Amino acid sequence: MAREDSFQQVRYAGSVAASERITGFLRGVYGWMATGLAITAIVAYFVASSPVLIETIFTNQLLFWGVVIAQFGIVFYLSARVQRLAPATASLLFMVYAALTGLTLSIILVAYTGESVAMTFLVTAGMFGAMAAYGTMTKRDLSGWGQFLFMGLIGVFIAMIVGIFWQSSALQFMISFIGVIVFTGLAAYDANRLRSMALSLPDGQVGAYTVVGALSMYLNFINLFLMLLRFFGGRRD
């Protein structure tokens, strides 16, 4: 009897430790995600408030594509080097990425009304929060979603490229509709994946992985916001 009680105590202690580890890791992930969104919003507002900056960024093709390429470069570098990056380096790169995203998204504040942008942000936050909470709290393993969501993501990307050359309202609606499904699914899938990751990471690598986890959730939020903006966004006259 005493041995059984001791076993139960050990199992309970292990469960508490695992819960605390998951909570601490996810707190860091969502803290960095919120920081990234705040940086993006501040930079976007600052740039949108300056006609000179807007004209400089969006009429200079070399500068604009340089910013876009730098964004892709940072994402690939963080993902590929996460095991070797110091937490401070990963954090700095993430903040730079968030600032560059603010530059490219500043045109949204010029093209759409502030009310529709704010409403879309709130809808995005609600949908994202609900799916992320589901992915975190469910006892199901959502890893099986990964292949289907990746295929959907590739499909959306290809359709967006086609949409550049073939202007069609029906195609744009389809892209937005499928994109909303894909990125809400990714919010749950990545939240589920990050919960599992928290238990498997070595202590010395938690910091960098926290930032990279925040980047994945940040990207899901931003892309979901952009897809929903096509439905709820009201353009300025």
Q: What is the mean pLDDT of residues 127-133?
A: 94
- Pick from 221, 225, 215: nearest CA to 176: 225
Q: For position 187, what pLDDT does the model report?
A: 94
Of residues 202 and 24, more confidently modeled: 24
Q: Is residue 136 part of a domain?
A: yes
- Residue 84 contacts by C-beta under 8 Å, 6 or more apart in sequence? none
Q: What is the mean pLDDT of residues 170-178?
A: 84
- Into how many domains does the chain fold? 1
Q: For position 41, what pLDDT does the model report?
A: 95
Q: What is the mean pLDDT of residues 167-196?
A: 88
Residue 100 has pLDDT above 60, yes or no: yes
Q: For position 6, what pLDDT does the model report?
A: 45
Name the DSSP letter for residue 235: B
Q: What is the mean pLDDT of residues 194-218?
A: 82
pLDDT in tens, 23-69: 888 899 999 999 999 999 999 999 999 999 998 888 888 998 999 99
Q: For position 5, what pLDDT does the model report?
A: 46
Residue 21 has pLDDT above 80, yes or no: no
Q: Which domain holds residue 203?
A: 2-232
Q: Is residue 147 part of a domain?
A: yes
Contact 175, 160 (CB under 8 A): yes
Grade residue 156 by pLDDT with cuts at 50, 70 and 90: confident
Q: Is residue 53 part of a domain?
A: yes
Q: What is the mean pLDDT of residues 180-201?
A: 89
Residue 155 has pLDDT above 90, yes or no: no
Contact 58, 42 (CB under 8 A): no
Among 76-80, 109-113, 143-147, 233-237, the least confident range: 233-237
Name the token pair of 99: 């600032």
Q: What is the largest CA-CA distance in the chain?
A: 77
Grade residue 232 by pLDDT with cuts at 50, 70 and 90: confident
Contact 150, 94 (CB under 8 A): no
Q: For position 11, what pLDDT does the model report?
A: 45
Q: Is residue 58 part of a domain?
A: yes
3-state SS of the chain: helix, strand, coil percent to 5?
Answer: 90, 0, 10
Q: For position 143, what pLDDT does the model report?
A: 83
Helix/strand number for the chain, H first, E second? 8, 0
Q: What angle do the packed helices 51-59 and 87-111 form, to 10 degrees?
A: 100
Q: Is residue 237 part of a domain?
A: no
Q: For position 168, what pLDDT does the model report?
A: 75
Q: Is residue 184 part of a domain?
A: yes
Residue 9 has pLDDT above 50, yes or no: no
Q: How far is CA 176 from CA 76, 140, 149, in A?
A: 25, 28, 15
